[in-house]
Every structure is written in structure tokens, then in C-alpha cells.
């Protein structure tokens, strides 16, 4: 057993998974596979239920703030499970002395984002702790939604088959780099804006028109590489990614080169992976591309029949290597 | 992205790969002695592009990996002192000492700060005049000038609470040791950024004394493949020499300002290299007029000697005698989360690169 919790345990990578598996799942008796939202069945209907805490630093960044993040993060966790998000509860832990003006700004953007996403914030709690006992403000949101029949497989990926195509809805890394830039006062010639957005309308557009979505997951902590490794582990299948087809914005590329980050490992708040079955990728792609949140969508790889789980990256230069599960912290407090 | 994409161009890469296949007419074994090269080679999947009979082996190019456990033990001992702030590059935080790591020390309350440059460490000294700020100086000729400039700055400002615990080393003596002990090699891929400081002429002894080819390489896929092609051509001609592939950064004479800073601030000392033992005149310690900045003199601590894990073959890996896959601990017991040896910790370490990019393949 570990002696102390380190920042690595909150990274969303291997150490987080170990902590969840070895402690929470074991003690709470949670069912596998672990997905972003729990699926609850009652009187013939299915519901999804999820919760997430937000500790982003700084609170305000290009393209969003902690309030917007707290709503769209939870909306996305519900939506990628295939559900229609409906209700959200929120709790605030606020540090003594926090400017009321900032709180109003944060709550305004929560209300605005909830309206946009079509969800209602219906319950909450407020705690204030002494100066220095928390960093400005932490927010937790929980949410529920209704899962239509025939969509239960979307969060667990049980229908995934070799040959299925992988799609992302835009370039990864913008959220992380926008937050990093705001935190360290980096100036960019082309501004980097967080991808933070509620994806539920985009997703329902896809699900309403196409029955061949075999899996969805939002690309939060651990980034694309983290989700691909979880998917490979969950399904026991292989994955091949074509590096050249993953869109990455120029300023994000630049910061990554300079600071040694890999965009495939960076956290996003408005990006998701879709696994498309039975040659449905062009249909899904055209639905995605008709929405501003999916304009830069791309097919980036496919499921293979590799005997044991592995994620292989075909590098832009023509080589191959594995794309490993993230380990340790790339950037702390990004969401 | 400009100045990056040109060096990762697929057509150029394929062209170099085919020229390599045409030029190669026997088995070749080249060693890279820069951790940045090790990481780039695996990140870009270079081994998957090369014919089987060209093998690349990694030498002692990762500063964290060649640093002895006693250095971490000393830093851990310092971190336990009441009035000390430790400042370090992030890589060192996870390296296992005999009984603890800096990361664990931090989680249990020691003041340990990750910095991105030695000047940030000096800032910590300025703003904490009541504390002793110790900077863990590590790296080869690439990072040593930065530490030297910081020490000079501290002297100029009369900052008396800034100290350096130095594990800085210079590269040529280690290459000399490898060449001298007869590791079977056809040439060196020489470190591009070390050479940007030292100049490529620093490596002349390798062809002259040991009949080994040297090409100073850059860090992009076309750089590395071009350097491999140049080495193969040298071997085929039977005329080993020092050549610069990384011409956009390296000259024969190097960066004179940086070199002068190193020799002004540091004195050459015998240094312990993991895998090699003590190599004479291979370490850099603040000396001469700057001796008071040497943490080991100013704040003596004692540590106990601990033997390293006997199963761990970091030593053989660093000398190019074994691959990580030969290690009984690799990926089973030793992983980036629970590293046994330093080669697994640093992003420049051979085991780390194999784990991340090549495991099970």
C-alpha cells in the first residue's frame, strides 16, 4: 500500500487507475467495467449518474472558466454514455475572502452553460473554509440523464469489432495549453482557446441519425492516449493510430515541442472519441462536421484484431511504436 | 510547424531509409550517448525503419541515470533539514534513493520545489533569505553553463544562502572509457547539444585513438537517419573521423562563452558514474573563487552506504552491454511508477524509452 497520496494519483493516468481499482472499487464493491457514468436501471428504464470535482487553476482562462467547466464536464460524462443529460446538482467549497464578484461571474457562466446544454441545475450546497484551507474555489457537480433503450453498449464498448474506425471531433490539447498559458502568462501569436464545451447536442445529432456508434468517451485527463489504452484494455483488442491524421493546432504543437509535452496525452474538455462500426464513419463524420464543435473531426485510426491489447502509433514519418498509457502528471489542475 | 515539419518529412525519411539499406553491406552497431537521442529514436520509431542488421545501442547519455544513489541520498538528507529548500529539475523527484525519493519527502512535508531553470532556484534564494536554498545541479555540458551563470550571478549579488549540490559531469571521459574497454562498436552518434557547447573537435580522440567514427547528430528523424547513413559510409570507407550532421547548431569549436563559464566556476573532479564506477576528472564541482557555493562543503551531511539492487542491470545497460529486455525486473517489477533503477525514471533513460515506446514489441 502507498504511504502518501502524490500528485500522480490525480493525474488520470496509471496511478489514478490503480488507486481507484485498489481502494474505491474494492471497498465500495463497484461493478466493472469502469465507465464515466454509472448506468442505473429502475422500472424498465435506464438512467445514468455521474459526478466530477473541478479545481482548475487559474479560475478564468481563454474560452471558459471553472463554472462553465463544471457544467460541461458533467454534461459530457453523461452524453458520451449515450444518455440525454437532464439534471445537475452542484456544491461549492469557497475560501474565506474570495471576491463575491468572481463568484457571480462563475455562477453566471454555469447558468449560461446549463441553458445552452438544456440541463437544469436543481440542487446544491455551499461551504466556506478559512483562508488558506482551499485554493479560492472548488466546485463539484453531479448529474443524471435518461439512457434510451439500445444505447447501453456505448459506454462499455461491447459491440466493438476489428475494422471499426476511430473518430475524434477536433484537435486535442487546446484546453490544457490554454490553461497553461493563462497560468504562466504565456503569450501566443495565435491565441489558444480552450475547447471546453457541452457536446450533448452534437452527440444526439450523431446518435439520432446513426445506429453504428460502438463507443464514445470524452478525452479528459489522460488525453487521447489514456482513453485509447483504457479502450484497448476493456475490449482486449488492438488499436492502430495514424499520427499524421490526428489534427493538432500549430500553437499547441509549438508549446508541446518546446516544453516536451505530447498533445496525445493532454487533457481536453470538449473533445471525444467515437468508435464507428460497419463502414459508418463517413456518415458520422458528415454529421459531426456540420456542427461547429465537430468541424475539424477526423478519422484517426482503427480497431485491429491484434491478439493482445496494445495501442500502436504509426508515426508521421512512417515508423511504428506503442502509444503507452499516460503515467504521472503532465500538467496538474487542468480541470 | 516551421523548422520541425521539414525534418519529419515522410518522403525524405523514406529516401534516407532506402539509401541506408543500399549502403549497408554488413552488420553495424552504433551507440548514442545522449538521452535526448535515445528518446527521439524511440519516439519516432527509428528502429522499426532500419534493417535488422543495423543496431542502435544506448550509452550513458542520461544524466539522471548515471548519477549514483548517494547523490539522491544526500539530497534526501538535505531535505530533512529544518531550514533548507531543495530546488530541482522534475526528473530527479522520482529517482529512488536507498530509502526514499524527493517526491516522497515532499509529500511528507519537506520543502522541495520543481524548477525549470537554475535561475528560478536563485529566485527562491532571494525571496527566502532565512532559508538555505540548495539547487541540485545535474546534466552534462548542456546544463552546466546554466548552473555556472547562476553561481556567478549569486556571487555578484552576494547571495549567501544559495548552494549547488553538483552531479554535473562531462561526456568525453565516459566515451573514452567505453571505447577503451572494448565494447563492440562501429561508431558513435555524438550528442548534438553537448557538442553545441564543447564543439565537435572534443571527440577527435575517438577516431584518432580508437578508430571509431563519430557523427554529431540533431534530434529529428531525418537528422538521426542522416547521421546513421554518414556513419555507415565512414565504416565502409574505413576512414573514421568526426563529422557534423547537426550543422545548424554545432561548430568544431563550440560555444566559447559557455565553455569559459564552465571552466571559471567549476573544477574537474573524479566522479562516480552508475555503471562505470569512478571516472577520473569527469565531474564538475563549484571551486576556485566559487567554492562557498558547493553545498557539500557549506552544509555537510552524512549518509550511509547502501548497495544497489543486485537484480537491476542498469550498469550493463548504461555501458551498452545489455538491452532493457534482458533485465529480469524490466516491466514486471521495474516500471516508471515503481522504478528500481534510474534508467526507468528519466524520460531520457533507456529503460523508460523502451517501456514507453517498445514494450512487448
Asked whether A13 and A226 are in contact (CB, 8 A), the reply is: yes
Cα–Cα distance, B357 to A313 (Å, whole number) = 9
Asked whether A306 and A151 are in contact (CB, 8 A), the reply is: no
Nearest residue of chain B to residue A324 (CA atoms): B356
A-chain CB neighbours of B359 within 8 Å are: 322, 324
Cα–Cα distance, B7 to B3 (Å, whole number) = 7
Q: Is the dihedral of CA B21, B26, B29, B32 positive or negative?
A: negative
- Residue B91 has what pLDDT? 81
Chain B CB within 8 Å of residue A2 CB = no
Q: Is A34 exposed, middle or buried (0-12, 13-18, 19+ CB in 10 A)?
A: middle
Tell which of A238, A321, A325 to mutate to test the B interface (max B CBs under 10 Å).
Answer: A321
- DSSP assignment string, B48-114: HHS-TTEEEEE-S--HHHHS-HHHHHHHHHHHTSTTEEEEE-GGGGG---SS--HHHHHHTT--EEE
Nearest to A322 among B14, B103, B358 (CB): B358
- Residue B124 has what pLDDT? 96
Nearest to B8 among A14, A260, A317 (CB): A317
Q: Do A8 and B337 lie within an 8 Å CB cutoff?
A: yes
How many A/B residue pairs have CB atoms within 8 Å? 78
Chain B CB within 8 Å of residue A310 CB = yes
Q: Do A5 and B107 lie within an 8 Å CB cutoff?
A: yes
Q: Do B48 and A260 lie within an 8 Å CB cutoff?
A: no
- Residue A190 has what pLDDT? 79
What top-level class would CATH report for the domain A7-147?
alpha beta
Tell which of A186, A261, A319 to mutate to test the B interface (max B CBs under 10 Å).
Answer: A319
B-chain CB neighbours of A313 within 8 Å are: 45
C-alpha cell at A260: 516536451
Cα–Cα distance, B93 to B246 (Å, whole number) = 32
Question: Distance between alpha carbon B181 and the CA centroid of its chain, in Å?
Answer: 20
Q: How many other C-beta atoms are found inside a 10 Å radius of the C-beta of residue B239?
A: 11
A-chain CB neighbours of B45 within 8 Å are: 313, 315, 317-321
Nearest residue of chain A to residue B49 (CA atoms): A319
If DSSP codes are grouped into helix, strand and coil, which group holds residue A239? strand
C-alpha cell at B295: 553545498
% of chain A at pLDDT higher than 90: 76
Domain boundaries of chain A, sorted by first residue: 7-147, 156-322
Cα–Cα distance, A125 to A180 (Å, whole number) = 30
Asked whether A54 and A220 are in contact (CB, 8 A), the reply is: no
Nearest residue of chain B to residue A308 (CA atoms): B360
Q: Which positions in chain B have a beta carbon within 8 angstroms of at least one beta carbon in chain A?
A: 1, 4, 8-10, 13-14, 17, 42-49, 94, 103-104, 107-108, 221, 335-337, 347, 355-361
Asked whether B273 and B174 are in contact (CB, 8 A), the reply is: yes
Residue B65's pLDDT band (cuts 50, 70, 90):
confident
Nearest to B8 among A14, A316, A328 (CB): A316
pLDDT at A329 over 70: no
Chain B CB within 8 Å of residue A260 CB = yes
- Residue A1 has what pLDDT? 65
- Residue B141 has what pLDDT? 95
Mean pLDDT check: name the lowest of A74-88, A230-244, A313-327, B139-153.
A313-327
Asked whether B123 and B150 are in contact (CB, 8 A), the reply is: no
Chain B CB within 8 Å of residue A282 CB = no
Nearest to A317 among B10, B104, B335 (CB): B10
pLDDT tens-digit map of A209-242: 999 999 999 999 889 999 999 999 889 999 999 9
Nearest to B1 among A253, A310, A317 (CB): A253
Architecture field, domain A156-322: Alpha-Beta Complex (3.90)
Cα–Cα distance, A11 to A262 (Å, whole number) = 15
- Residue B25 has what pLDDT? 93
Nearest to A319 among B44, B107, B359 (CB): B44
Asked whether A68 and A110 are in contact (CB, 8 A), the reply is: yes
Q: Do B94 and A328 lie within an 8 Å CB cutoff?
A: yes
- Taking residues B236-248, report their average pLDDT: 97
pLDDT at A301 over 90: yes
Q: How many other C-beta atoms are found inside a 10 Å radius of the C-beta of residue B341?
A: 28
Place of cell 496538474: A332
Nearest to B337 among A14, A253, A315 (CB): A14
- Structural domains in chain B? 64-170+254-298 (3.40.50.11740)
Q: Do B45 and A260 lie within an 8 Å CB cutoff?
A: no
pLDDT tens-digit map of B115-155: 988 999 999 999 999 999 999 999 999 999 999 999 999 99
Chain B CB within 8 Å of residue A332 CB = no
**Cα-atom radius of gyration of chain B, to the nearest Å?**
21
pLDDT at A328 over 80: no
- Taking residues B89-101, report their average pLDDT: 86
Give the gap in angstroms from C-alpha B291 to the nearest C-alpha of chain A.
33
Give the gap in angstroms from C-alpha B356 to the nearest C-alpha of chain A.
6
Residue B107's pLDDT band (cuts 50, 70, 90):
confident
- Taking residues A309-319, report their average pLDDT: 89
Residue A264's pLDDT band (cuts 50, 70, 90):
very high
Residue B361's pLDDT band (cuts 50, 70, 90):
low
% of chain A at pLDDT higher than 70: 98
Chain B CB within 8 Å of residue A254 CB = yes
C-alpha cell at A197: 464545451
Q: Is the dihedral of CA B191, B192, B198, B204 positive or negative?
A: positive
pLDDT at A137 over 70: yes
A-chain CB neighbours of B43 within 8 Å are: 315, 321
Asked whether B138 and B89 are in contact (CB, 8 A), the reply is: yes
Chain B CB within 8 Å of residue A135 CB = no
Give the gap in angstroms from C-alpha A319 to the nearest C-alpha of chain B.
5
Nearest residue of chain A to residue B106 (CA atoms): A6
Half-sphere exposure of A5 (CA within 13 A, CB side): 7
C-alpha cell at A207: 446518435
pLDDT at A187 over 80: no
Amino acid at each position: 500500500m502507498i504511504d502518501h497520496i502524490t500528485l500522480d494519483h490525480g493525474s488520470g493516468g496509471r496511478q489514478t487507475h490503480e488507486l481507484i481499482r485498489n481502494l474505491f472499487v474494492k471497498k465500495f464493491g463497484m461493478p466493472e467495467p469502469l465507465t464515466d457514468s454509472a448506468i442505473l436501471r429502475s422500472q424498465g428504464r435506464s438512467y445514468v449518474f455521474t459526478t466530477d470535482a473541478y479545481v482548475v487553476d487559474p479560475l478564468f482562462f481563454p474560452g471558459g472558466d471553472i463554472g462553465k467547466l463544471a457544467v460541461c464536464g458533467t454534461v459530457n460524462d453523461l452524453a458520451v454514455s449515450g444518455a440525454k443529460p437532464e439534471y445537475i446538482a452542484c456544491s461549492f467549497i469557497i475560501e474565506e475572502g474570495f471576491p463575491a464578484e468572481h463568484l457571480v461571474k462563475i455562477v453566471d457562466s454555469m447558468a449560461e452553460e446549463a441553458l445552452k446544454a438544456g440541463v437544469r441545475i436543481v440542487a446544491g450546497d455551499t461551504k466556506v473554509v478559512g483562508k488558506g484551507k482551499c485554493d479560492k474555489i472548488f466546485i463539484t457537480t453531479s448529474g443524471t440523464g435518461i439512457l434510451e433503450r439500445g444505447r447501453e453498449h456505448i459506454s462499455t464498448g461491447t459491440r466493438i469489432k476489428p475494422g471499426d474506425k476511430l473518430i475524434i471531433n477536433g484537435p486535442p490539447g487546446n484546453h490544457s495549453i490554454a490553461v497553461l498559458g493563462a497560468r504562466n502568462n504565456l503569450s501566443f501569436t495565435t491565441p489558444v482557446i480552450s475547447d471546453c464545451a457541452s457536446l450533448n447536442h452534437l452527440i444526439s445529432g450523431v446518435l439520432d441519425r446513426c445506429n453504428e456508434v460502438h463507443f464514445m468517451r470524452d478525452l479528459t485527463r489522460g488525453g487521447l492516449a489514456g482513453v485509447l489504452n483504457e479502450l484497448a484494455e476493456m475490449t482486449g483488442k488492438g488499436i492502430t493510430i495514424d499520427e499524421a491524421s490526428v489534427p493538432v493546432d500549430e500553437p499547441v504543437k509549438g508549446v508541446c515541442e518546446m516544453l516536451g509535452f505530447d498533445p496525445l496525452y493532454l487533457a481536453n474538455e470538449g473533445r471525444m472519441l467515437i468508435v464507428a462500426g460497419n463502414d459508418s464513419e463517413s456518415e458520422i463524420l458528415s454529421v459531426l462536421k456540420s456542427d461547429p464543435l465537430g468541424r475539424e473531426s477526423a478519422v484517426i485510426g482503427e480497431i485491429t484484431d491484434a491478439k493482445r491489447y496494445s495501442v500502436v502509433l504509426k508515426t508521421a514519418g512512417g515508423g511504428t511504436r506503442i502509444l503507452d498509457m499516460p503515467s504521472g502528471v503532465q500538467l496538474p489542475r487542468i480541470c | 510547424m516551421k523548422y520541425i515539419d521539414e525534418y519529419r518529412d515522410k518522403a525524405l525519411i523514406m529516401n534516407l531509409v532506402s539509401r541506408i539499406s543500399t549502403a549497408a553491406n554488413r552488420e553495424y552497431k552504433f551507440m548514442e550517448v545522449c538521452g535526448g537521442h535515445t528518446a527521439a529514436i524511440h519516439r519516432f520509431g527509428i528502429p522499426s525503419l532500419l534493417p535488422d542488421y543495423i543496431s542502435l545501442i544506448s550509452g550513458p547519455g542520461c544524466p539522471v541515470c548515471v548519477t549514483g544513489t548517494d547523490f539522491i541520498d544526500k539530497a534526501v538528507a538535505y531535505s530533512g533539514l529544518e531550514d533548507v529548500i531543495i530546488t530541482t529539475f522534475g526528473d530527479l523527484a522520482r529517482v529512488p534513493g536507498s530509502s526514499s525519493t524527493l517526491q516522497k519527502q515532499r509529500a511528507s512535508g519537506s520543502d522541495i520545489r520543481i524548477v525549470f531553470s537554475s535561475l528560478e532556484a536563485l529566485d527562491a534564494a532571494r525571496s527566502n533569505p532565512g532559508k538555505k536554498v540548495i539547487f541540485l545541479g545535474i546534466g552534462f555540458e548542456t546544463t552546466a553553463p546554466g548552473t555556472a551563470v547562476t553561481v556567478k550571478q549569486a556571487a555578484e549579488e552576494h547571495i549567501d544562502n544559495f548552494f549547488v549540490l553538483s552531479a554535473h559531469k562531462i561526456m568525453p571521459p565516459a566515451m573514452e572509457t567505453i571505447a577503451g574497454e572494448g565494447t563492440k562498436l562501429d561508431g558513435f552518434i555524438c550528442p548534438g547539444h553537448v557538442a553545441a557547447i564543447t564543439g565537435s573537435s572534443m571527440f577527435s580522440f575517438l577516431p584518432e585513438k580508437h578508430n571509431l567514427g563519430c557523427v554529431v547528430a540533431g534530434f529529428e528523424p531525418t537528422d538521426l537517419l542522416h547521421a546513421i547513413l554518414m556513419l555507415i559510409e565512414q565504416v565502409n570507407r574505413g576512414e573514421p573521423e568526426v563529422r557534423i550532421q547537426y550543422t545548424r547548431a554545432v561548430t568544431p569549436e563550440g560555444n566559447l562563452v559557455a565553455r569559459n563559464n564552465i571552466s571559471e566556476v567549476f573544477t574537474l573532479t573524479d566522479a562516480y558514474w552508475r555503471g562505470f564506477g569512478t571516472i577520473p576528472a569527469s565531474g564538475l564541482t563549484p571551486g576556485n573563487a566559487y567554492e562557498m557555493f558547493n553545498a557539500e562543503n557549506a552544509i555537510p551531511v552524512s549518509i550511509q552506504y547502501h548497495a544497489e539492487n543486485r537484480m537491476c542491470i542498469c550498469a550493463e545497460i548504461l555501458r551498452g552491454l545489455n538491452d532493457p529486455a534482458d533485465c529480469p525486473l524490466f516491466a514486471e517489477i521495474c516500471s516508471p511508477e515503481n522504478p528500481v533503477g534510474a534508467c526507468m525514471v528519466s524520460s531520457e533513460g533507456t529503460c523508460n524509452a523502451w517501456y514507453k515506446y517498445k514494450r512487448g514489441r
